[in-house]
Amino acid sequence: MSKFGKVAVLMGGRSAEREISLKSGAMVLGALKKSGIDAHAFDPRDLGLEQLLAQHFDRVFIALHGRFGEDGTVQGALEYLGIPYTGSGVMASALAMDKWRTKLLWQAAGIPTPPYELLSQGSDFAGVGERLGLPLMVKPAREGSSIGMSKVTSIEKIATAFELAAQYDQTIIAERFIQGVELTAAVLDDEPLPLIRLETPRVFYDYQAKYFADDTRYICPCGLPPSQERAVQDQALAAFRLLGCSGWGRVDLMLDADGRPYFLEVNTIPGMTDHSLVPMAARARGISFEDL
């Protein structure tokens, strides 16, 4: 393992997902050390990135989630410093972090994604609800971990959902909620891993359900016929590649009542906690957390 040299695990950071990043980073750090790699925690909230050079790090595992870590900013800095890093590059990271521009690209390429509209303070919320239909998901375009998201079941509640999302971003999306099966497709080294089906008794698969709840169900194998699972995996990989993503990541989607997939977003640095989905999919493929 000495071929990797001295490795910095970037964790924490300044985003709204700092808490989860610290959990992901701690697990990654432990796995790397267990594998005999000279790995060290590095929190860019507290240390300038120039310290990566000063402390003679050879490469970086990015375990940051959200802004200033998953959005291309850290990737650009590492490119400038000449330090190799895990995951997608600058462009793909920035695009995938922006759910609106992700949807624009997918629409242009014919990849199915739920109908949506952008919201602003002056939007006709009633008109948006009538055009898209209820329920709706209202979400900030550039946050992860379901932060700032709301499922809206009445037109009167769209304004409240908008105000919550606007605390996290200036670009707000109202998206038709697809009733059906929630799936996630992990990608590792340009290959899709087994699909995972998600079930939660909560209103939707929110922050609590993702990281803390014990009643969230993760079903793998997902229960789809093999041919249908392969077709969804192929589409997920196409959606991933279209944004220029590489290395590893996760594509989230819904299947409607007729089995048609609708792609929601790509996570270029998914969670690596004990509740996280990529490690779960890797285990189903026979890959341990340390090997992952």
CA distance 283 to 194: 9
Residues with active-site annotation? 17, 145, 211, 250, 252, 265, 267, 271
Residue 253 neighbours by CB distance under 10 Å:
25
Extract the tokens encoding 24. Answer: 């992901």
Q: Which residue has the tokens 């709706």?
A: 136
The residue ranges of DSSP E strands in the chain, in sequence order, are 6-10, 38-42, 59-62, 116-119, 136-140, 150-152, 172-176, 181-188, 191-192, 196-199, 217-219, 248-255, 261-267
Q: At what angle do helices 125-132 and 158-166 cross, to 10 degrees?
A: 110
Q: Contact at 8 Å (CB) between 93 and 87?
A: yes
Q: Contact at 8 Å (CB) between 106 and 239?
A: yes
Q: Contact at 8 Å (CB) between 87 and 248?
A: yes
Q: Contact at 8 Å (CB) between 274 and 18?
A: no
